[in-house]
Chains A and B, each alone.
Chain A
Amino acid sequence: MSDRSLVQIAFYAALIAALGLLPPIAIPFLGGVPITAQSLGVMLAGVMLGPVRGALAVLLLLFLVALGAPLLSGGRGGLAVFAGPSVGFLIGWPVGAFVAGLIMQKTANYNVLVSAAFAAAIGGIGVIYAFGIPGLVVMTDLTFAKAAMGSAIYLPGDLVKVAIAAIVAQTVARGLPHALMSRA
């Protein structure tokens, strides 16, 4: 791995952490569920860095969290987050980033906005929930339907993030084309 890749991975991990430290926005029409920008960072990692580096950036962040750095939204961190009910979502993060990056690569001929939205939706919502909800079932012994219902309150916020991720990807593609490494 080149120096450049290593630093990019570290910067994206830092970016996901920084996004998690921004104060959450409570959107009233979504029932006041607080939206944090952190999973947006996960989507962006895949969309911008591509599958391997994107997934490594997310893994690096989770590694720091496991070491005891309070870098998850709301200042959470340490091993406790991996013992809690939402551990499945965290496991889904690197996989989601990987899938998002892969989709960006495979759809390189399409418009950036469209393929980034698609990549963020499949990787950042589909994959993450596909790990998160079964994780919730295992950790809490709830039925699948109830676990899915409980997770659904975050869905509107996640859709907003998909839109933002797509717009950010397009802005970056215009402002610094070679920075969209998933397509380089």
Chain B
Amino acid sequence: MIALQIPGPSWAHALPAHVKLLFLAFSGALLFPVKDPLVLGASVIVVFGFYASLGANGLAQLRLLRPFAYMLVFIVGLHALSGTLQNGISIALRLTAMVLLANFVSVTTRMDDMLDAVRPMFVPLKWIGGSPQKPALAVTLVIRFAPVLLTIYRNLQEAFRARTGQKSSWRLIAPLALQALRMSEHVAEALTARGGTKGLSGER
């Protein structure tokens, strides 16, 4: 499956995932109350510098944020209408800095590492009788089956077109949901046949 990450190595890839996550949380908390456009503008420049330090691949990332830019224009416009243009600009700068920083963490961290970094969060599941392994297994299942469901949708589309000549229809969503459910029954059975989510290690 496609992922957001840009290929490493770089200084940012080398940092452990939990360090990056803590840094992101800390920066967010720090930036949130700031109103001064100069400070916020400086933060945006620093974050741009992070991307620039990754080279051409890093700078190419900034292009992906175009849809986000439209939203910012819309927000600044609404503020301008209310006569709070300066406030609007501060907010746009703060959102830009935060979104770009969050994205920076995502594009320099592999999903596996991210999962490992947050795994301790699932330990409490043990206290309520759950298994901390389950979230990871569920994540794997989604990654495996999201593309399969897209393929099923394309097959339905083909069958639909063969009989109607039309390209696509919302009416395909019901059969897609049905097929997904049927398939989930098979997959659940196959998982049980291999010892299920509990495993066979003897721990229950």
Contact = CB atoms under 8 A, between A and B. Distances in A.
Interface of A: 1-4, 6-15, 17-19, 21-22, 37, 40, 44, 48, 60-61, 63-64, 66-71, 74-80, 82-86, 139-143, 146, 150, 164, 167-168, 171-172, 175-176, 179
A140 to B, nearest CB: 5
A14 B187 CA distance: 13
B78 A10 contact: no
B95 A84 contact: yes
B71 interface: yes
B118 to A, nearest CB: 8
B75 interface: yes
A9 B138 contact: yes
Interface stretch (B8-16, B36-44, B48-56, B139-147): B139-147
23 contacts: A3-B192, A7-B187, A11-B187, A15-B176, A17-B149, A44-B177, A60-B139, A61-B142, A63-B135, A67-B118, A67-B139, A68-B107, A70-B2, A70-B3, A84-B71, A85-B95, A139-B95, A140-B75, A143-B82, A150-B74, A172-B178, A175-B174, A176-B178
A3 B197 contact: yes
A167 B4 contact: no
B150 interface: yes
A17 B102 contact: no
A82 B103 CA distance: 10
Interface string B78-115: 11011010011001000100111111011101110011
B103 A78 contact: yes
Nearest to B112: A67
Nearest to A170: B174
